[in-house]
Amino acid sequence: MQVKPLGDRVLVKLVEEQERTQSGIYIPDTAKDKPQTGLIVAVGDGEDIKVKEGQRVLFAKFAGTEIKIGNEEHLILSTDDILAVVED
């Protein structure tokens, strides 16, 4: 079974806290607008999408729509809500 995002949306698998800390990005508890990281697992067919599968991305915490696929938490996000790509 596959979830194919429409238009400018992407499907992001949420990344564990631990993983984030190892990468050196730390989101302070007092941050006014806490971002979150995830792994892109599918992208829509919109022309303006500049991210691709496999990239780790940073996005605003309250963006998107949560779904679980199997047991794993995912978000469907508009590409506009992705703030940055994180490379190791």
Contacts with a copy of itself, residue ranges (CB under 8 A): 1-7, 9, 11, 23-28, 31-35, 45, 50-51, 58, 60, 62, 64-70, 73, 76, 80, 82-88
Q: How far is the CB of 58 from a copy of itself (least distance, A)?
A: 7
Q: How far is the CB of 50 from a copy of itself (least distance, A)?
A: 7
Q: How far is the CB of 41 from a copy of itself (least distance, A)?
A: 12
Note the Cα 45 to chain centre separation in Å: 17
Please, what sign has the CA dihedral across residues 6, 80, 68, 14? positive
Nearer to a copy of itself, 2 or 18 (CB): 2
- How far apart are the C-alpha atoms of 28 and 3, rounded to whole Å? 32
- How far apart are the C-alpha atoms of 79 and 36, rounded to whole Å? 14
Nearer to a copy of itself, 39 or 58 (CB): 58
- How far apart are the C-alpha atoms of 41 and 57, rounded to whole Å? 11
